[in-house]
Chain A
Amino acid sequence: MERLLQQLINGISLGSIYALIALGYTMVYGIIKLINFAHCDVYMIGAYVGYFCMSYFRLGLLPSLLIAMVVCMLLGVAIEKIAYKPLRNAARITVLITAIGVSLFLEYGTMFFVKAETRTYPPLTGLLARTFKSGSLVVSMQQIVIVGITVILMVLLQFIVKKTKIGKAMRAVSLDQDAAELMGISVDTTISCTFAIGSALAGAAGVLVGIYYNSINPLMGMTPGIKAFIAAVFGGIGLIPGAMIGGYFIGMVEVFVSGYGNSMFRDAVLYAILILILIVKPAGLLGKNVREKV
């Protein structure tokens, strides 16, 4: 029983990080129907920004997190403006290939500046380094911080999307771009905002992963990127609640397969799940199969 509980706690922590990344994939897909392959590298940049803030400038976790989010926000908007916007009317495959290009550019560009070596995140100190034990159950303060920050960000995101003007514009543009433009909504601004929010979440995930796993490197985005993408597809790509559910589900699967089975099979099980979803429910858990046009 305690072991099960322990795995659940671990799964929620890991799932939080996947969910944060998956949100960015799903939001961008929802609005411009692009799988933004560069998204996982924005997450990597977030981890590095957090690293430099904490180790060189000796900033605390929260300021570092906020700085990483802002930097990633600007980076996301810049990527959209420079790489994707000129291709707004191009074929889908052209934009997809561009996204892969941006991804490689960010990975190897980062490697050029910070070297390929793995860097160690500065250890947390004081209250943040504490762990709580009850029997064999261990909950670290890190895990609480990760889950707490994720929940705050998700609530904030839901508020923005549901209640604010820009959130309504985002939903309108993702449902029908022409009709949104006829409402006097600036489609360009709305797309930029979507990239900004998605990238900020990825930046937060980068810092959280840094404090969770302690080590970062320029190619760290690839695997979690793919897993977060699976999470988004699992929940129903383009759907925000889908990405949240998918993220936690993938985190749980990973932890449980490692904990009860064999950690070697961890990724194999994930990909098997992806294949299964694509066969059984291609639109994802919350997705409806092809919207009917009246």
Chain B
Amino acid sequence: MFEIRDLEVHFGVIRALKGISLEVKDGEIVTLIGANGAGKTTTLRTASGLKKPTSGSVLFEGRDITGTTAMERVHLGISQVPEGRRVFSTMTVLENLELGAYHRKDRNGISMDLRKVYELFPILYDRRKQAAGTLSGGEQQMLAMGRALMSRPRLLLLDEPSMGLAPILVQEIFSIIKDINREGTTILLVEQNASMALQIANRAYVMETGSIVLSGTGSELMQSEEIKKAYLGG
């Protein structure tokens, strides 16, 4: 349903992505792992439209969407949870969630999705009138995910959802990611926490300095010696 072909991205003269290709099939969880600075976030930002590629193409549901903006891609059904959560800190939790559904007009659908988000993250309901900036890191991550779900995406792009969270919270976030996927949302997940990501992913790509160096199913990669050594701590 989503595909990136020969994507090259530059920051000034620096080539951040050196012609990468990857595919996410309908209903899958695909993860992109790799060290800091490998180009994972850049890949995701190009997928969501925040960064324009120098060459290559981005396809969604059989359509070439390379030239579209991030805003247009939200309307098409792609939603990104950005790195570092990026919640609107001085706005309330409810306002943040409402902004997630900004382009939608179906009031009933929006309030239904709001209820769903509150079911998925009950803490957000308790905190709905609080400013988002006053939430803990884990709660902010949940808010960022809930906010992205409010656009009712078919493809959810997640950038480092485990960043800065306590291990117990990481477990919780990952199990929620699986729940979201089970309900029918396709997921592309960027993670530094390779072992957690590989556990829930159907397939995975490994990035190194702007290129994809390895790919396979989650379990295949978990068995791979190279991966064990480089990313799973032995």
Q: Which of A168, A176, A184, A186 contacts B86 (CB 8 A)?
A: A176
Quote the shortest CB–CB distance from B137 to chain A (angstroms): 7
Residue B75 lies at the interface, judged by CB distance under 8 Å to chain A: yes
Contact of B74 with A182 in the complex, beta carbons under 8 Å: yes
Residue A181 lies at the interface, judged by CB distance under 8 Å to chain B: yes
Residues of A within 8 A of B164 (CB): 294
Residue A133 lies at the interface, judged by CB distance under 8 Å to chain B: no
Given the known A-B contacts A168-B99, A294-B137, are A182 and B88 also in contact in the complex, defined by CB atoms under 8 Å?
Answer: no
State the CA gap A187–B91 with chains docked (Å).
18
Residues of A within 8 A of B80 (CB): 182
State the CA gap A272–B49 with chains docked (Å).
47
Q: How many residues of B contact A (CB 8 A)?
A: 31
Residues of B within 8 A of A264 (CB): none
Contact of A179 with B86 in the complex, beta carbons under 8 Å: yes
Residues of A within 8 A of B84 (CB): 293-294
State the CA gap A186–B72 with chains docked (Å).
9
Residue A172 lies at the interface, judged by CB distance under 8 Å to chain B: yes
Number of A-B contacts (CB under 8 A): 70
Residues from 63 to 112 in B contacting A, C-beta threshold 8 Å = 69-71, 74-75, 79-80, 82, 84-91, 95, 98-100, 102-103
Residues of B within 8 A of A180 (CB): 88, 99
Q: How many residues of A contact B (CB 8 A)?
A: 20
Quote the shortest CB–CB distance from B15 to chain A (angstroms): 20
State the CA gap A178–B83 with chains docked (Å).
11
Given the known A-B contacts A171-B91, A176-B88, A294-B137, are A181 and B69 also in contact in the complex, defined by CB atoms under 8 Å?
Answer: yes
Contact of B98 with A187 in the complex, beta carbons under 8 Å: no
Contact of B82 with A169 in the complex, beta carbons under 8 Å: no
Contact of A185 with B137 in the complex, beta carbons under 8 Å: no
Contact of B75 with A183 in the complex, beta carbons under 8 Å: no
Residue A275 lies at the interface, judged by CB distance under 8 Å to chain B: no
Contact of A168 with B98 in the complex, beta carbons under 8 Å: yes
Given the known A-B contacts A168-B98, A169-B102, A179-B86, are A184 and B91 also in contact in the complex, defined by CB atoms under 8 Å?
Answer: no
State the CA gap A181–B87 with chains docked (Å).
13
Contact of B99 with A178 in the complex, beta carbons under 8 Å: no
Contact of B48 with A168 in the complex, beta carbons under 8 Å: no
Residues of B within 8 A of A168 (CB): 91, 95, 98-99, 102
State the CA gap A175–B86 with chains docked (Å).
9
Q: Which of A172, A187, A293 contacts B71 (CB 8 A)?
A: A187
Q: Which of A176, A178, A184, A293 contacts B103 (CB 8 A)?
A: A184
Quick one: CB contact mask for A160-177 with B, threshold 8 Å, 1 for yes?
Answer: 000001001101100110
Instruction: Choose among A165, A176, A178, A182 the residue with the greatest number of B CB atoms under 10 Å from its CB.
Output: A182
Question: Which residue of the partner chain B has the closest CB to A239?
Answer: B90
State the CA gap A14–B164 with chains docked (Å).
51
Residues of B within 8 A of A175 (CB): 88-91
Contact of A182 with B102 in the complex, beta carbons under 8 Å: no
Q: Which of A171, A178, A183, A185 contacts B50 (CB 8 A)?
A: A178
Contact of B91 with A183 in the complex, beta carbons under 8 Å: no
Q: Which of A172, A186, A187, A294 contacts B99 (CB 8 A)?
A: A172
Contact of B86 with A181 in the complex, beta carbons under 8 Å: no
* 7 nearest CB pairs, A to B: A184-B74, A184-B103, A179-B86, A181-B70, A183-B99, A175-B88, A183-B102
14 pairs, CB–CB < 8 Å, chain A vs chain B: A168-B99, A176-B86, A176-B88, A178-B70, A178-B82, A179-B86, A180-B99, A181-B50, A182-B70, A182-B74, A182-B82, A183-B100, A187-B71, A294-B164
Excluding A182-B86, A183-B99, 15 further A-B contacts by CB distance (< 8 Å) are A168-B95, A171-B90, A175-B88, A176-B86, A178-B50, A179-B82, A179-B87, A180-B99, A181-B50, A182-B50, A182-B148, A183-B100, A184-B74, A184-B75, A185-B99
